[in-house]
Amino acid sequence: MSRSMPSVAPSILAADFARLGEDVARVSLAGADYIHIDIMDGVFVPNITMGPSTVSSIREYSKLPFIAHLMITHPERHIKAFADSGSDIIEVHIEAEQDLVKTLRSIRDHGKKAALAVNPPTAIENAFPYLREIDLLLIMSVNPGFGGQSFIESSLPKIGIAKKEMERQGSSVPVEIDGGINGKTGELAALAGADILAAGSYVFKADDMPAAIRTLRACGSSKH
Ligand code: DX5
Ligand code: ZN
């Protein structure tokens, strides 16, 4: 069965932070569909990355939609800052301490797309009550905090389960998968129904960045 090709969202966590603007421009020219920006606070996850001022600084280097993946506690305190920074899609974690419905509505009230992220140990069913509040669902295929980790295969069935529930509820939002994505795991994810592949190391460490992006976009389109 043929299905539409997945979109590609390179994660700049694997970029050169001393040349972040140039790397954002380079990956955009290489054929990316989105720029995936990992925001970590050292509390929700053990690592610290960047904040809204960095997002504002790189905004002018690309016309692509920016996805701000907020791996932070109390994301509701920072929605305005990330909206003002030029993020187009704001992803918050179901596991983060917050009033989730309020946070998701605040993202939409700021004119941005709201997304819900689900960690590997969290049952996907926990996201079902929020499907109407979101514009995108992010299924994590690593435990968040660091790039370059191995893909957790048990995340795959969550994609189909979520899509089936969306159908049942009469809603349909794209599913992004994030963590350990390469040509091989991207294929598995695309065949499982993923619409957007987020990939850090595979894209930024590639010798040929446009080829790496083309490989990801072709995932799931081979005949089986
Ligand atoms: C993990 C981040 C991912 C990560 C992906 O906490 O949310 O977006 O950067 O990196 P790779 O593709 O190297 O696993
Ligand atoms: Zn991410």
Is 38 an annotated catalytic residue? yes
- Residue 4: per-residue pLDDT: 84
Q: Is the CB of 200 under 6 A from ligand 1?
A: yes
Q: Is the CB of 198 under 6 A from ligand 1?
A: yes
Ligand 1 pocket test, candidate residues 72, 178, 219, most atoms within 8 A of CB = 178
Tell how far the Cα of 46 is from the centroid of ligand 1, in angstroms.
14
Tell how far the Cα of 133 is from the centroid of ligand 1, in angstroms.
25
Q: Which of 23, 41, 178, 195 is catalytic?
A: 178
Tell how far the Cα of 179 is from the centroid of ligand 2, in angstroms.
7
Q: How far is CA 184 from CA 29, 51, 190, 212, 220, in A?
A: 24, 32, 10, 12, 10
Q: Which ligand is closest in space to the CA of residue 10?
A: 1
Q: Which atom of ligand 1 is nearest to the CA of 203?
A: 12
Tell how far the Cα of 169 is from the centroid of ligand 2, in angstroms.
27
Q: Is the CB of 199 under 6 A from ligand 1?
A: yes
Distance from C-alpha of 148 to C-alpha of 15, rounded to nearest angstrom: 12
Low-confidence ranges of the chain (pLDDT < 50): 1, 223
Q: Which ligand is closest in space to the CA of residue 119?
A: 1
Q: Are 73 and 101 in contact (CB under 8 A)?
A: no
Interval 196-218: pLDDT, tens:
999 999 999 999 999 999 999 99
Amino acid present at 112 = K
Q: Are 9 and 32 in contact (CB under 8 A)?
A: yes
Tell how far the Cα of 83 is from the centroid of ligand 1, in angstroms.
22
Q: Is the CB of 181 under 6 A from ligand 1?
A: yes
Distance from C-alpha of 141 to C-alpha of 6, rounded to nearest angstrom: 16
- The two structure tokens encoding residue 68: 């701000």
Interval 19-39: pLDDT, tens:
999 999 999 999 999 999 999
CB burial class (10 A; 0-12, 13-18, 19+) of residue 17? Answer: exposed
Q: Are 195 and 176 in contact (CB under 8 A)?
A: yes
Average pLDDT, the chain: 97
